[in-house]
Amino acid sequence: MPDIIHLLPDSIANQIAAGEVVQRPASAVKELIENSLDAGATQIKLFVKEAGKTLIQIIDNGTGMSETDARMSLERHATSKIRTTDDLFRLRTMGFRGEALASIAAVSQFELKTRQAHTDLGTQILVEGSEIKNQSPVACEKGTNISVKNLFFNIPARRNFLKSNPVEMRHIIEEFQRLALAHSAVAFQLRHDEELIYDLPPAKLSQRIVALFGKSFQEQLAPCQEETTLVKITGYIGRPESARKTRGEQFIFVNQRFIRNNYLNHAVTSAFEGLLPDGNFPFYVLFIEIDPKHIDVNVHPTKTEIKFDDERAVYGVVWAAVKQALSTHNLAPAIDFKADINLVGKLNQSITKEQFIDEQFSNSLTRSNLQNWEKLFENEVPASKLFQRAEQEGNVLRFESALNKADNEEKPSEEQGLFQFQQKYIVRASKSGLMIIDQQAAHERVLFEKYLARQKGGAGNSQQSLFPQTVTLTAADYALAMEIEQELIGLGFRFEIFGKNAVLVTGIPTGVTGTEKELFEGLIEQFKKNQAELQLPVRDNLALALARRAAIKSGQKLLPEEIKSVVEGLFACAKPNFSPDGRPTFFTFETSKIESYFTR
């Protein structure tokens, strides 16, 4: 039988590697900028066309490469950072993996120009799908200039999986922001289709944050700093009142490398415990400096996930540092460190890290557990627990839309005893017992179906503004707004481009209250929150976002006619049993269950 195992050609191996390293244009941007940073660049320019699908160009003023190094950089596993196995555990550079350039060149039409300061001529290399077409001397500026054209031109299936230009551009902006935050001493520039998106001079971290996210951040930043024998924490946290309903403005860097780590994110949010409304997330940019021997950055091909050899200790320091910052700047009550506020002293004492963490978090954990001690009595149910028990024991009534009901079936009416309870629920007598309706969930369902139907009709009804308002967005949010422009018009919004990352809102959906700025910004925020939590089509997501903004809230007192309108609207819905995000809109106490509480 003939042998069946053989080595892959380098071109195919590079394409396979590209599948891990280069998932979309933003991935190539990240790898190329990291290489520029490792080359000591103090100025980096990024040019993209069609959200990186047609062109990604990185120009830096770094050290450049010799003719031999330029050719070697396109080989698999080529690297300037690793000589021995021990080097893997001492890495502080960014692009050390040695596959990025080879992988990018395997799936694009690639051009490299590079020159070192002491040479008069540089080197130009043209590559197409891993095949080197030409290498020759060239006159060019000191540093490196890389152009990646027609990404995935030779892998149509991968190219077809790319999203719309606004979506891909949003990912590029996110990668650009992370790298610009991590290296505030470096000048960055970003242009998209000849439009200048960012022009960032070298600056302090606080100035870089404001330049990236807007002037509104000037008044909300509080410095955060702590140092122990294990780690050093620096950065800024946002004031609690500036927290948003969406993630996306939370940044943790380890040795200047952006990472995703839910455990450390929890350390930060738990330090804000009691200061944020439910579902809100604080802004923070935190840098963790730690000896590379205590971390493993080779967990994921994109190097955004790392492992700590003592993650609990790092968690404790991050939590305490944020808590201390909140207290120092009068944003929260002072920390109780058991009469010892010196965090460094605590970590340097002979106590174990488990004792340290238990001491810091036992109080908050105990408070959390106390909230769960209550339970219903077997033979007696206080009135205040009636509705809690309903959620546990009540049956959920399921039925079709009221439009499909027979004429002789019961319908909501004033005669059936509608009233509001605790400004949260609507109570209604029914043939089978007592129905308890969640007023907010019910109204969200009514509005959701209304807004969904409105979008299907093209341009939705709009109430024109007497005094249009300008809304300035972050670059990522502006790209998102452009991406869903037609769907926003379908809801009833009217707006036009009004300068860099700004729109002029001239109309809002009919029947919705609030200022143009408040509604537009709130809708974008809610849309992003839905994106993170729910997998919904764009139209459904927008309809849900606006429904949540416009719906009656829990705790809002209702007039009798409003109560009746909510109930009748709910039972006319196509799917009245659940809110758009899956919460029950009502429960029913069966008459037999109610009677069981009074039998001897």
Question: pLDDT 10s per residue in the chain (600 long)?
Answer: 677 776 666 656 655 555 557 889 999 999 999 999 999 999 999 999 999 999 999 999 999 999 999 998 888 655 555 545 555 555 555 544 456 888 899 899 999 999 999 999 999 999 998 889 999 999 999 999 999 999 999 888 888 888 888 889 989 999 999 999 999 999 999 999 988 999 999 999 999 999 998 888 888 899 999 999 999 999 999 988 888 877 778 999 999 999 988 899 999 999 998 888 777 889 999 999 999 888 887 655 556 778 888 889 999 999 999 999 998 877 654 444 333 334 444 444 434 444 544 554 444 444 444 444 343 333 343 433 333 433 343 444 344 444 444 444 444 444 457 888 888 999 988 888 889 999 999 999 999 998 888 877 666 778 888 888 898 888 888 888 888 888 888 888 999 988 888 899 999 888 787 788 888 988 888 888 787 777 778 888 888 888 888 888 888 898 888 899 999 999 999 999 998 888 899 988 888 888 888 875
- Judge whether 123 and 65 are in contact, CB under 8 Å: yes
- Judge whether 306 and 292 are in contact, CB under 8 Å: no
| Intervals of CATH 3.30.565.10 along the chain | 10-202
Q: CB neighbours (10 Å) of residue 458? A: 9
CA distance 52 to 32: 13
**Sheet holding 462-472: strands in order across?**
462-472, 502-509, 494-497
The residue type at 248:
G
The closest alpha carbon to 344, from 223, 225, 236, 222, belongs to 225
pLDDT attached to residue 13: 61
Q: CB neighbours (10 Å) of residue 525? A: 17
pLDDT attached to residue 387: 37
Q: Where are the alpha helices (DSSP H) in 233-310?
A: 262-271
The residue type at 558:
L
How do 43-49 and 187-192 pair as beta strands?
Answer: parallel
CA distance 536 to 155: 28
CA distance 520 to 503: 10
CA distance 132 to 105: 9
The closest alpha carbon to 180, from 194, 154, 198, belongs to 198
pLDDT attached to residue 52: 94
Q: Which two tokens mark 301?
A: 């091909």
CA distance 10 to 143: 28
Q: Where are the alpha helices (DSSP H) in 291-352?
A: 311-328, 343-348
Q: Where are the alpha helices (DSSP H) in 423-515?
A: 439-456, 475-483, 485-491
The residue type at 196:
L
CA distance 121 to 419: 84
CA distance 237 to 284: 4
pLDDT attached to residue 351: 43
- Judge whether 124 and 139 are in contact, CB under 8 Å: no
Please name the fold of domain 213-369.
Ribosomal Protein S5; domain 2 (3.30.230)
DSSP H or E stretch at residue 383: none
Q: How many helices and strands in the chain, by DSSP H and E?
A: 19, 22
CA distance 462 to 4: 67
3-class DSSP assignment, residue 433 = strand
CA distance 244 to 250: 11
Indicate the pTM of the whole model.
0.66
The residue type at 171:
H
CA distance 436 to 421: 9
pLDDT attached to residue 60: 96
pLDDT attached to residue 388: 40
Tell me how far the alpha carbon of residue 562 is from its chain's centroid. Answer: 36
The closest alpha carbon to 545, from 521, 565, 566, belongs to 521
The residue type at 163:
K
Multiple choice CATH, 379-600, 3.40.50.300, 3.30.1540.20, 3.90.850.10, 3.40.190.10: 3.30.1540.20
| Intervals of CATH 3.30.1540.20 along the chain | 379-600
- Taking CA atoms, 420 is separated from 439, 470, 536, 576, 577, in Å, by 9, 39, 32, 19, 19
Find the largest Cα–Cα distance for the chain. Answer: 101
Q: Which residues contact 564 (CB under 8 A, 6 or more apart)?
A: 412, 414, 418
The closest alpha carbon to 487, from 405, 554, 543, belongs to 543
As a whole number of Å, the CA-based R_g of the chain is 29
In b/e form, how buried is each residue of 361-385, taking b as 16+ CB within 10 angstroms?
A: beeeeeeeeeeeeeeeeeeeeeeee
The closest alpha carbon to 492, from 505, 501, 476, belongs to 505
pLDDT attached to residue 340: 39
CA distance 94 to 292: 13
- Taking CA atoms, 437 is separated from 445, 569, 584, 591, in Å, by 12, 12, 9, 17
- What is 39-50 written as a DSSP string? TT-SEEEEEEEG
- Judge whether 227 and 281 are in contact, CB under 8 Å: no
Q: CB neighbours (10 Å) of residue 220? A: 17
Domain 10-202, CATH class in plain words: alpha beta
